[in-house]
Amino acid sequence: MAALGTSKTVEAVVDTKSVTITTLDETDPSTLVIPIHQFEGVVVHIQGADEPGAVVARLILKHSDPQLSLLLSETDKPELLAQSWPAWAEALGLPMLVWELGGMIKPIEAYSARPSCAPHPRRKLPLLTGRRPRFLVRRPVGRSAADATVYQGEREIIAPH
């Protein structure tokens, strides 16, 4: 593993509770122990490679100090990170983060298709409200057939004969 912000080669031991970073410099060896809760999350960073159509995918243990961020994995096939990314995040108890093209880092939940709040309550059914619909309120209520006036046994006056 290598620290992202330095040119030194380091050895990092990742534990569920802490990360131990040891520099492999013969002149100035040093060891740094960082609690895992100080890391922001496990970031996937995909960017274009030198060749057209090729990409480079990196899995990074993100710290607020860029020199303490660790490169966990690097590949030219992003689909290979699909299994290791959630596994690292779950094992370390850190959130899954995405490094956007503009440099912004967002949690994976920001890309979810799930609604952020509950849907609005449904309208009540007209049968339950006891009201007539608005367009029928403007019209008079019809009369039933039992109330209709019936003329029987009379001569019809409509016919022209």
Cα 37 from Cα 29, distance rounded (Å): 25
Going from the C-alpha of 147 to that of each of 11, 121, 141, 152, the distances in angstroms are 97, 42, 13, 15
Q: What is the pLDDT of residues 30-52, one digit of tens each?
A: 888 999 999 999 999 888 877 88
Residue 79: inside a domain? yes
Q: Which helix (H) or strand (E) holds 86?
A: helix 81-92
Residue 125 in tokens? 């059914």
| CATH, residue 102 | 2.30.29
Cα 81 from Cα 86, distance rounded (Å): 9
Residue 13 lies in domain: 2-111
Q: What is the pLDDT of residues 52-108, one digit of tens each?
A: 878 888 999 999 898 888 999 898 888 888 888 889 999 999 999 988 888 888 888
Residue 53: inside a domain? yes
Q: What Rg, from alpha-carbon coordinates, does the chain have?
A: 36
Residue 14 in tokens? 């990742």
Number of domains comprising the chain: 1
Residue 103: inside a domain? yes
Q: What is the pLDDT of residue 43?
A: 92
